[in-house]
Amino acid sequence: MKDKLLSMAPFFVIMALAIAWGVMQGWFTPAPQVVENNHGVAKAPLLGGAGGGLSLSHAQEPTPTPSEEGNLKTLAPPTTTYREQIPQIPEPTLAADSSSSTTGEPGATTWSTYHGDEQLAGVVDVALPKKPVRRWRFQANSPIYHGPVASERLIHFVTGTGEVFGVDFKGVKVWSRQLTRISSFDQKVKNARIDGPVSCFKETVLVGTMAGVVHALDAATGEEKWRTDIDSTILGAVTFQGATDTQPDRLYVIGQDDGALHSLLLSDGTLLWKSESIDRCDGSPSSGKGILAFGSCASALHVISAENGTILKNISLGDEAQVAGGVAIRGNSLFSGSHGGELFHADIEKGVLLWTNTDADGEVFTTPAVSAKLVVYGSMDDNFYALDRATGTLRWKFKTNGMTMSPVIAKDTVVACSGGVLYLLDLETGVEQWSFEVSDEITSPSIINGMILVGSDDGTLSAFGKFEG
């Protein structure tokens, strides 16, 4: 027996070496188990041995708890935080959006009006976190009815009682200024009444009042630069056109009462011209190359020369199609909702309608957001709609539980507000990705310094963004 065992020794040595080699190569290691995390999404396993690690394509970033109480409508984060175990793994990057590059229509680069920039198209080339958290909340003294805008270093907004604020990107107050008026009843000084959005161009904060006064403030200090009375209620935002070879920097504002457009010098507020009266206008003018556009209670879209105020086009929308929201400009196209619930696409040069959509069951007073492929807007029937830009056919709709505000498109995400809730929706499908109940009523969203900002009826300005622990 001993001799037999000795004769088999080489075999045992070979077997041992083979087993050892197999262990080293992972032949006897069980296959890794893929389990579902608390989001119902497969978690990538941590693999042992050389070459093991985390698959970024399946990694679930932890969802931190917001710093303030709120109804965060997302499920709990995974109990195992892989990103804490492997802190050196970089954040995944999102592919560039095609909404600008394929059409030659750049998105907003600075948030100068309530819907992005002068074109009011509501598109910004910013990748937002999939599950943002509330970074900070600033408390003002009265309700905020319109979203904030940005200057080089500050965020600006105005309250319903006429107080204008400048806060930094961390929500710290830098300045505030109370706008005033002289009461026509008793000639006493009272707070100005504001019912229109604030704007900011070339470090000048611009606010129109119900008394018809445009106030221009220094963005850095809040000091008054000038004020101009246009003698007509102002409900829309002030817009802008930059200097040309023959024209200086100019501002434009609509008088609500008669729909006349006023052109002012940015430098000192001097009135350059006033256009022909059209009809009552509650919206804001949008600014394109050499033209201004807006809608009115005349059930039409109006294209005005930026140089001299001449009415270039009146595009009829049909009966009961009064326009109270902003009109988005994209290239040679105008996009607008109406009192009758339609969404219109018009050709600026030809002055004709290209298509009309009637899917909404309520009035459309929001300003549409227009990407390369889709037009997204909210209706008084509490739904957000996405239409094919080329044909006007319905692509998706998203039901909410309150009044919809003007949405914004940030790369592949729709940022939408309704009934006090902030939503992130997938641009292509309309599927809700995340939501947060901010207050009873909130403004349309602004995208500033990589954050989503909304004002609310409780007087707070909230900023949502990436968690920074």
Residue 90 lies in a domain: no
Q: How far apart are the first and last CA of the chain?
A: 70
Q: Does some domain include residue 82?
A: no
**Does residue 29 lie in a domain region?**
no
Quick check: 116 and 363 in contact, CB under 8 A? Answer: no
Token pair 């001299």: residue: 308
* Dihedral pair phi/psi, residue 222, rounded to 5°: 85, 0
Residue for token digits 């408390």?
139
The CATH number given to whatever domain includes residue 269 is 2.130.10.10
State the pTM of this model.
0.78
Examine residue 88 and state whether it is found in any structural domain, yes or no: no
Residue 368: φ, ψ to 5°:
-70, 150
- Show the tokens assigned to 46: 């941590």
Question: Residue ranges of the alpha helices (H) in 86-241?
Answer: 98-101
Within a domain: 10: no
DSSP 4: H
* 228, part of any domain: yes
Contact 170, 153 (CB under 8 A): no
Alpha carbon 405 to its chain centroid, in Å, reads: 11
pLDDT of residue 188: 92
Confidence (pLDDT) at 348: 97
Tokens read off for 356? 């009309």
> Could you list the residue range(s) of the whole structural domain that residue 264 is in?
118-465
Q: Within 10 Å of residue 316's Cβ, how many Cβ atoms?
A: 14
Contact 321, 299 (CB under 8 A): yes
Q: Domain for residue 199, yes or no?
A: yes
Closest CA to 192 of 172, 169, 211: 211
What's CA 135's distance to the chain center, in Å? 17
Q: What size, in residues, is the chain?
A: 469
Are 216 and 222 in contact by the 8 Å Cβ rule? The answer is no
Residue 2 lies in a domain: no
SS3 content of the chain, % helix, strand, coil (to 5): 5, 35, 55
Which strand ranges, in their side-by-side order, compose the sheet holding 369-370? 369-370, 374-378, 383-388, 394-399
Mean pLDDT by 10 residues, the chain (469 residues): 46 51 44 33 30 27 34 32 28 32 64 96 96 97 96 96 97 98 90 95 97 97 98 96 94 96 98 96 95 97 97 95 96 97 98 98 97 98 98 98 97 97 98 97 97 97 90
Number of structural domains (the chain) is 1
Instruction: Determine the residue type at 20.
Output: A
| CA within 13 Å, CB half, 415 | 32
E strand residue ranges, 140-203: 149-150, 155-158, 163-167, 173-178, 180-182, 189-191, 199-201
The torsion defined by the Cα of 126, 97, 90 and 453, in degrees rounded to 10, comes to: 20
Question: What pLDDT score was predicted for residue 65?
Answer: 36
DSSP at 442? B
